[in-house]
Every structure is written in C-alpha cells, then in structure tokens.
Structure 1
Amino acid sequence: MTSGAQWRRVGHGPRPQSWRSRPRLRLRTVACLALAVFLFLWLVLPYDNTVRLAVRFNVQRLRAAWFGRPSERWVYAPPEFPVDVGEDVVVILKTGYGTRERVPVWFESLSEGSEFRDILVIADYASQSGGHFPYRGQLLPVHDMVRRSLELPVLSGHTSHPRALKYGQLAEAVAGGDDALALKLSRSFGWELDALKDISCLEFAYEKFPNKKWYFMLDDDTFVVQPSLKPLLEHLDSDEPYYLGNAVGDFRARFAHGGSGVILSHAAMRSLVGSPKARASAHLDALDDIWGDRLITKALLQLGIHLDETYSHLFNGEPPLLSKIRADRICSPVVSFHSIRTDSAMRAVGEHFGNVSSPVLWLDLWEIYGLTPPWRQTDTALRDNWDHVGDLDESTLTIGNVATAEDCFNNCDRHARTCLAWTWESATRNCHISPWMIVGGNASGKVSGVNVPRARYLETNCILY
C-alpha cells in the first residue's frame, strides 16, 4: 500500500454517508414535521376555522370524485331505524305576514294520508283568536319568532338596530289592524326579518317537542314528498348529529338551503340547544346576516356538526316541472319541491304527489304528470313549442347563429357526454345545451329535446331493487 493511502477494515469506523441520503433525510424530516404541525393545528383549531373547513371541503370533494356516491339501496330496504312520522317528526313551517295566505293552501295540499301530525307555524307576527289555522281538528296558532329573538337578553342592547326598528313598524301596523300597511311593510323587508326566525324556531321546537327524533324546517312554498322522506329518515340514526339539506354556499359555510327543507336529528338539536354560546353568536349575527339558514350552519360548525352532503341531491329548490334532473340523481328519490308560490300551483302539486304511496324518483316526474318520458317515445324526441332546459346558468352552453333545431340537436350529440337536453330558439337562433333536463312546459318559438341515448342509458343503469 502506498504511503498515506486511506483504508478501513470492514465493520470498523464510521461509514461515509451517501451523498444521496442527506436530502432524503431532510425530506423525511420536513414531511414528518409538516404532518406533526398539521395534526397539532387540526386538534387545536376551532371547528369553524377556515383552514379546517377548507381541508374538509376538499377531502370530501376528492372522496366523492374517487369513490362516487354511496349506494342508495336503502330506499327500498327494510328500515334500520324505524320512524313513525306522526310520532317522531315535528314540522316547522315558516311563513310571514306577507305570505300567510299560502299556509291554508299548504295544509290543503296535504293528502288525507299525510302522516304529519305535529306542526309549528312560525312567522314575524302572532295570530290572534280567530286567526289560527285549522288542521285535522286542531287550531294551530302562529308563533312570532322575531319578537322572541329580539326579547332575548343577548339582543337587549340592540333595540335601535334597523332590523329591530323595522319589526317594530310591522308589529305596530298588525296590532293597529292596518292590514294594508302591514302587508306593504312585510313585503318590503319581510325577507330581512326572516333571518331572525331560524335559530329561535329551532329552540322553540325543541322546547315544545324535546323527544322528537327529527326536526324538519321548511318554507310555506315548499312541498314534501312524504313517501321519499320516510325511508331517508329510517336509514339514519337520530342519535347521531345529522344536519341534512340542499347544500349551497362556499367551503367557509356550506349550509342547507332553507327553501329546500332543513332536517336536524335529535342529537344535533340537543347539541345546539345545549350550547348557549353558539346560539348567542347566531342570534347576534341574525341582526345583519341576509340568510337565516346560513346561521344554522355557523352555529352547528362551532359544535363540530357539518352539513352531510351525502343526501343533498334529495332536496330540491325548484317546482316539479322545472326541477333540473341531472345524471347523478335521475334514479334517486326526491324529498322536496320549492318555489311553489301560487295557490293553484300548490294545489296542483298536492293533487299529483299527495297520494303517492312509494318513494318518488326524479325519473318519475314525467309519469306523475301523465307524460311519457321523451326517450321512451322516439330516437330524436324533438318537441315544438316546448323547453326541456329551463333557466340557464354557468354550467349551460349557448351556441349562437344555429340555423335549425336539427343543428341544435346535432350540437347536443357532439357534447353527448355532458348534454342531457337542448333547446333551440327560432327568434334568436340560439342553441342552449344543458347537463340536466326538465319536464318543462309550453314555450312558444322554441324547439327542444333530450339526449335520448344518454337518458336511456341512465334509466337502464338505475339500481334494480
């Protein structure tokens, strides 16, 4: 061996570190440290912290994209948690002085077989003797939830708040018997007062019916398909904190759209009523917030209760003939219809749906109205003076300068993976392509149709019960 040569006997002395090992070691260290920081923050941050909400929202989205929607075989399966709707469910019907004429028609729309028994009517006024609503031998009073909210100690220092003053004007007009003024005021700012009802009416419902399994809050222009509601509730354990409804809003406050119906389990209500801090915060926010239904989410988030979006597609914010039937829900039950604002429309919905005895799927809407689904009729399903698209939004595609209805049909065919319906306007020559279809109605100057092959495929791939 030459002088000065470096050597080492195997097994003796330190082993030189590979030039590659240090970066790998640093990477593992950083990853472990990041994970530790994340877990620490996850444990110490409040439930309604933006970071937690963002992470949860994106994880839920990834899981839904990866695994898809869970099976809905429960619709016709034996009940896991049997529910007697009359005994176990309380309905909280929201109205206002300006829309109170809808309430008797809402009751009228319920069939003789309706299982709803315990119903609380809440509003921005209280009914007097002779002004209660009759329902199956009962006289149901209207409970003023706005007054209840404003009389709470937490709002005692806010009597001069604009919303409190507006309520004072309405209350004075009602008490003075000035119906014209009361109607004018209610229709002017009743939507503002609505935000003061939601938390108070949930508190009130729990006080009146502390042993109910389920609490269902809905508007006076909402119809509930009871045969679809019952299997949903019987699939869920009311001793778990469930918060259900049609999800709207961004990740910071995903909330159940009040018009589509909001359902809380007994466990969720018990947690909410048992948390004065969460309720007090929501009551204060109600003085300025636009959406009372969003306040429910804000209060529940403080308790770690999130909107369960697994069932959001069952709740519907539209009337039946305009309901957007999408590919991901065509075989799912529909629990509610909303925005049924005229007496004749509510009566018609009651006539068509009031006597159904089994769950109603979105797919069933055509047959319930005595129509044959277009994809069962012909291969093209073109219909003059009709519209199967309805209201447009950011998810629809409008193509201009389309010469004929057949060309519009061909455009839908070229977008077959996303198009479920199309409508061509003769006056503008615009072609509208949508990822949903509606039963629709007469629309002068329009030609419309559905994507027959896709609709047939979706129907044939429904779960067979």
Structure 2
Amino acid sequence: MVFSDIEQDVGGHHVYGSLEEVSDKYKYSHRDFNFYRRLLDLFAKGQDLSLLADTKQATGNGWDLDKWKFVPIAHRVYVEQPDIKWYIFLEADAYMGWSNLLEVLSKFDPDKPWYLGATHFYGDVAFAHGGMGYIISNGAMRMLDTIWNPQNIARWERRTAAGCCGDVELAAVLQEAGVNITGIPGLYGESLSWFEWDEGK
C-alpha cells in the first residue's frame, strides 16, 4: 500500500490518504494542518501544488503533518490487509535489502507481538526510527486493534497535538497495547557510500 497526503489514483495504482482517519476536529482547525488544508484546496482546483513551496501560499509545512500519520496508517493497513504476516513500513527515501530482511524475519513468529526497528529513545519511550523503516507483526497489529476505540483515539490525538514525532506516538500507542520494540541489527540511516565495501567487510 502507498500512502500520501492526498488520496488519488496514479498510474493505475491507488494511493491512500495518510490523514483520512484523523478526526475532522483537527484536520479542519488545528494549526498543524494549515499546509494540508491549502494542499487540498489547490488540488481540488487543479492548481500547481508547487505553489506550496512559496511560504506566502501556506503557513506551516509538511513536517507539521508527519507526526499525525504513523498511527492512522498502521491501523489502516491492518484494516485493509488483516491477514499479512509482516507489515513493513518504508518512507520514500528508504530501502531494505529484501533477502537479508527475509532472513531476519525468519527468526521471528509473526503471530507473536513484534515491533522491530532501529531503537531510539524520546524520554521514556523506546521507538523504531521511522526514517529507517520498521516492521510490525500480525500479532502486534491484532493487539493494536483491540484498543482501537473512540476514547483512546481522542486521547492519542490530544497527545499527538502536543507531541513531536509520529514514530514516537506509534511506539507509545503500541506500548499501551502491550507491544514493545525489539531492536534488530542492520537498520541504518546512512547512505551506501558510508559503508566499507572492502573485501572481508
């Protein structure tokens, strides 16, 4: 599944709206969504979205929106694809070596609650750094789904409004569901040129 700020079809592929599950209360009034509201307005009018690069066209920016996406996207992919063993989340500028990834995942049971990634800390929350990619098992998604209700969503959105980052918010919600991060080796935020490629390395 591919997610973006605007739900649309591109080249025969459906692109899901990453903010569709966020409450209208926030989407249509909170300052974090100033950029989003302007984006929707330009898109609806068929105008050039690059106008948003001009700060006069919209206050705020895409980073303000980022923290709102992680939890809703995680839930949406589970609702759309509830039987997948592993949910692998990657941003547009990230990649994973699939053969290595499959070898790592073969050591874990997807029916158990696993949240795998490069461990970072924000206060007392251990989280998987979103920019490096992270993996959630079907077992963990089922646990998340059991606490997905209007009361919790309202509380999570209040916390997100005051929080910093979507990957931190997702980890906090998963912790509430009883799922903690397990760090896995081999997830790095560096480019390929950073690694040593000499023989034997």
Q: Distance in 1 between matches of 2:153 and 2:87?
A: 17
In the other structure, the counterpart of 1:219 is 91
In the other structure, the counterpart of 2:37 is 168
Q: Distance in 1 between matches of 2:124 and 2:100?
A: 30
Q: Distance in 2 between matches of 1:166 and 1:264?
A: 30
Q: How does 1:36-185 map to 2 (within 5 A)?
A: 120-128=1-9, 132-133=10-11, 139-151=12-24, 156=25, 159-179=28-48, 180-184=50-54
Pair 250,144 (structure 1): closer, same or farther in 2 beyond 3 Å: closer
Q: Distance in 2 between matches of 1:279 and 1:230?
A: 33
Q: How does 1:369-388 map to 2 (within 5 A)?
A: 372-373=198-199
2:145 matches 1:273: yes
Pair 198,284 (structure 1): closer, same or farther in 2 beyond 3 Å: same
Q: Is the 8 A contact 2:117 2:129 kept in 1?
A: yes
Deviation for aligned residue 1:269: 0.5
In the other structure, the counterpart of 2:158 is 284
Pair 196,290 (structure 1): closer, same or farther in 2 beyond 3 Å: same
In structure 1, runs of 5+ residues without a counterpart are 1-119, 134-138, 324-364, 367-371, 377-458, 460-465
Deviation for aligned residue 1:258: 0.4
Equivalent position to 1:293, from 163, 167, 170: 167
* Higher relative contact order, structure no. (Cα contacts within 8 Å, ≥ 6 residues apart): 2
Equivalent position to 1:210, from 73, 82, 100: 82
Specify the code of the residue in structure 1 equivalent to 2:178.
G
In structure 2, runs of 5+ residues without a counterpart are none
Residue 22 of structure 2 aligns to a residue whose secondary structure is: helix
In the other structure, the counterpart of 2:179 is 305
Q: Distance in 1 between matches of 2:6 and 2:136?
A: 25
Higher radius of gyration, 1 or 2: 1
Q: Distance in 2 between matches of 1:121 and 1:187?
A: 26
Over the matched positions of the two proteins, sequence identity in percent amounts to 26
Deviation for aligned residue 1:157: 6.7
Q: How does 1:235-250 map to 2 (within 5 A)?
A: 235-250=107-122
In the other structure, the counterpart of 2:70 is 198
Residue 219 of structure 1 aligns to a residue whose secondary structure is: coil
TM-score normalized by the length of structure 2: 0.86
Deviation for aligned residue 1:251: 5.4
Q: Distance in 1 between matches of 2:36 and 2:26?
A: 15
Q: Distance in 2 between matches of 1:259 and 1:144?
A: 19
Specify the code of the residue in structure 2 equivalent to 1:168.
R
Pair 255,219 (structure 1): closer, same or farther in 2 beyond 3 Å: same
Q: Distance in 2 between matches of 1:279 and 1:271?
A: 15
Q: Is the 8 A contact 1:272 1:278 kept in 2?
A: no
Deviation for aligned residue 1:248: 1.1
In the other structure, the counterpart of 1:428 is none
Specify the code of the residue in structure 2 equivalent to 1:122.
F
Residue 93 of structure 2 aligns to a residue whose secondary structure is: coil
Deviation for aligned residue 1:286: 2.7
Specify the code of the residue in structure 1 equivalent to 2:21.
R
Deviation for aligned residue 1:183: 4.8
TM-score normalized by the length of structure 1: 0.39
What do residues 244-300 of structure 1 show as CA deviations (whole Å, max 9, x unaligned)? 111112450111000111110001101112202554433333334331111111101
Residue 224 of structure 1 aligns to a residue whose secondary structure is: coil
Deviation for aligned residue 1:166: 3.0
What do residues 417-464 of structure 1 show as CA deviations (whole Å, max 9, x unaligned)? xxxxxxxxxxxxxxxxxxxxxxxxxxxxxxxxxxxxxxxxxx6xxxxx
Equivalent position to 1:253, from 125, 135, 141: 125
Q: Distance in 1 between matches of 2:112 and 2:82?
A: 16
Deviation for aligned residue 1:158: 6.8
Q: Distance in 1 between matches of 2:17 and 2:141?
A: 20
